[in-house]
């Protein structure tokens, strides 16, 4: 069983019917330190005990759970730890009832087993229980909680937040990441898990804020992350710093601070280009080179989108082309969503500039990518025909428009979804208008009747 870090590792120790929670969250037969626990050795009692899942001795169940985890038998491991939890909860003495650290460890371990069994919903419940017991432990201890207590609880909160994030419960995940970060910041810097865990929590906090549309808060978080990176790296070009500039640029764009968004992305481009120059051209660095080129493409695309929003359409086109060029160097095919989206943006730029011939050339190139990657009756293919028809309609060329519209109508011949039926009906009406422009009223009336029948029959 692989865990995030050493905090989740459990020592094999000997147990009796009377047990206590030790400082590292394991269970001991006495409150004094046990050397066997530190070395992972079994005591004489646990060696002599029958390692049977039916043995109701919690000591046996605990050690058996560890053994089953090592054997990759997660189902049996969960059963063993659940038996230990039940035994602790059944105790009547006040002392035994306060074994929250042991309960927290058991619930956390159960949660990781459930993750391996792909029972994510059950794992969320287990991590929630673990966090509750560990918080109670920290509240009840006579002395101030130790670094271990903080780091263990922080790790459980991170595990819980990660699972909540996966099921798109971003609001709850955000709160858990914040709690985890607060605890990690109280752990001494010497802790080997602290730096990575603080980074993980902070980045996930920003991500959750973005998912929840809290872009002002996300912007503040990303700026703090950038400041921390600069304090470490200085002015040296690092891909990691460029990532922060990209994230800041995205937040600024969403907040409609377009000029600032352009600057942030240009900063990212400057850093990534310097990083790219320093990379040796060897086989070993190909993955890194591909990643940097992909990010360069993203940054150029972002600049293009920002310039287009500002109405600087002519300046936007070279940036979209630069994005496609970098993505192509990174090995992305024309049918990749990033590339096709950039092509569509270029077509929109030409449309805004009323450059019909240039737009049509891009639309035809884009159409080929749709045909290659989508099924024959896909509505995106029909929409592509419709976009090309619109160019001919603007050019007062109804014959060419009819040709493209008929292809769009044929693409949606077997349409069954209401939105696709409405789409097909619109193309029929546009085609009818083209026939009216040619003076063919009969054909126009026929098409309009078909459009009305389609709407009445299926919508």
Taking residue 132's Cβ as centre, other Cβ atoms within 10 Å add up to: 15
Percent of the chain at pLDDT exceeding 90: 58
Higher pLDDT, 172 or 148: 172
Q: Tell me the average pLDDT across 376-404.
A: 95
- Rounded to whole angstroms, the maximal C-alpha distance in the chain is 101
> What is the rounded CA–CA span in Å between residue 269 and residue 319?
11
**Cβ-contact 412, 400 below 8 angstroms:** no
Least confidently predicted of 46-50, 52-56, 382-386, 409-413: 46-50
Residue 445, pLDDT above cutoff 80: yes
**Residues whose CB is less than 8 angstroms from the CB of residue 436 and which lie 6 or more positions away in sequence, other chains included:** 444
pLDDT at residue number 226 = 95
pLDDT in tens, 72-129: 888 988 988 898 888 888 876 666 656 888 888 889 999 999 998 999 899 999 999 9
Q: Tell me the average pLDDT across 443-449.
A: 95
Higher pLDDT, 390 or 187: 390
**Residues whose CB is less than 8 angstroms from the CB of residue 356 and which lie 6 or more positions away in sequence, other chains included:** 350, 391, 394, 395
> What is the rounded CA–CA span in Å between residue 384 and residue 399?
17
**Cβ-contact 114, 132 below 8 angstroms:** no
- Alpha carbon 321 to chain centroid, angstroms: 28
Backbone angles phi, psi at 201, to 5 degrees: -60, -45
Record the pTM: 0.77
DSSP 3-state of 142: coil
pLDDT in tens, 325-364: 999 999 999 889 999 999 999 999 999 999 999 999 999 9
């Amino acid at each position: 069983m692989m865990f995030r870090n050493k905090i989740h590792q459990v020592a094999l120790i000997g147990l009796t019917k009377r047990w206590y929670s030790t400082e590292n969250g394991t269970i001991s037969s006495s409150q004094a330190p046990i050397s066997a626990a530190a070395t992972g050795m079994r005591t004489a009692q646990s060696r002599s005990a029958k390692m049977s899942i039916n043995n109701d001795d919690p000591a046996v169940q605990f050690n058996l759970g560890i053994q089953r985890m090592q054997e990759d038998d997660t189902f049996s491991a969960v059963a063993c730890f659940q038996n230990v939890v039940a035994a602790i909860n059944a105790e009547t003495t006040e002392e035994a009832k306060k074994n929250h650290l042991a309960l927290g460890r058991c619930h956390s371990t159960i949660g990781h087993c459930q993750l391996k069994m792909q029972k994510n919903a059950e794992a969320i419940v287990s991590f929630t229980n673990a966090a509750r017991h560990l918080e109670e432990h920290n509240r009840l201890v006579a002395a101030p909680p130790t670094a271990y207590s903080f780091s263990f609880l922080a790790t459980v909160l991170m595990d819980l937040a990660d699972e909540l994030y996966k099921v798109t419960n971003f609001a709850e995940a955000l709160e858990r990441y914040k709690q985890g970060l607060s605890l990690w910041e109280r752990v001494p810097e010497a802790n080997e898990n602290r730096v990575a865990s603080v980074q993980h929590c902070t980045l996930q906090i920003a991500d959750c804020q973005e998912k929840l549309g809290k872009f002002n808060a996300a912007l503040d978080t990303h700026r703090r992350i950038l400041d921390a990176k600069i304090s470490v790296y200085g002015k040296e070009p690092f891909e990691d710093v460029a990532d922060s500039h990209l994230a800041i640029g995205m937040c600024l764009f969403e907040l409609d601070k377009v000029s600032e968004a352009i600057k942030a992305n240009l900063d990212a481009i400057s850093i990534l280009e310097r990083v790219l120059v320093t990379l040796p051209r060897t086989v070993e660095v190909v993955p890194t080179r591909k990643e940097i080129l992909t990010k360069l493409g993203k940054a150029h695309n972002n600049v293009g989108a920002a310039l287009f929003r500002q109405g600087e359409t002519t300046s936007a086109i070279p940036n979209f082309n630069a994005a496609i060029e970098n993505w192509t160097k990174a090995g992305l095919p024309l049918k990749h969503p990033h590339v096709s989206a950039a092509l569509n943006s270029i077509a929109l730029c030409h449309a805004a500039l009323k450059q019909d011939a240039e737009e049509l050339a891009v639309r035809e190139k884009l159409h080929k990518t749709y045909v290659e990657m989508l099924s024959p009756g896909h509505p995106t293919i029909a929409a592509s025909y419709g976009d090309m028809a619109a160019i001919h309609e603007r050019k007062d060329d109804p014959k060419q428009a009819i040709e493209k519209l008929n292809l769009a109508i044929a693409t949606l011949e077997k349409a069954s979804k209401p939105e696709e039926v409405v789409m097909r009906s619109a193309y029929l009406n546009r085609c009818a208008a083209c026939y009216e422009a040619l003076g063919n009223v009969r054909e126009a009336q026929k098409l309009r009747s078909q459009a009305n029948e389609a709407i009445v029959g299926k919508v």
